[in-house]
Amino acid sequence: MLRILGLFDFFSIFSNIPTIFASIGLILATSSFISGLQLVRAASLAERKIHRFNGLTTFTLYISLAVLAFAYNGVRFWPLIGWVSGLCLFLLKIWIVRRKRRVYKYVSWMGATLILVWLFLVYIHIPV
């Protein structure tokens, strides 16, 4: 009955762990980007902690996806370059923020770039 309704195919999407991780990472990266832009104006400690938690969780999901990708497909040169490039974007954003200067314009561009990275990760993990 589920096959006839097409619901089986719909629910099988949610059984793919990398797809779930990539989707959650995209949501967290977007909320982290928005809360990061709000931190420019606000100095609330709670907002900083939420932003830091979103960033740490997003970073953890990124590393988990990389490990899963290498476990499923093996370590190959070009995928390794792609994952390391994304990791470098994360680390560059953290480095820019830690400089403690007024570099928010560059960090917002980096945050937007990280959202594009997550969009790509969602795209490549959609089961066909």
pLDDT by position in tens, the chain (length 128): 445 555 555 555 556 788 888 888 888 888 888 777 776 666 677 777 887 888 889 999 999 989 988 888 888 898 899 899 989 988 888 887 777 666 566 667 777 888 888 888 888 877 66
Q: Read off the pTM.
A: 0.75
Question: Rounded to an integer, what distance in angstroms lies between the CA atom of residue 4 and that of residue 88?
Answer: 46
Question: Rounded to an integer, what distance in angstroms lies between the CA atom of residue 124 and that of residue 18?
Answer: 10
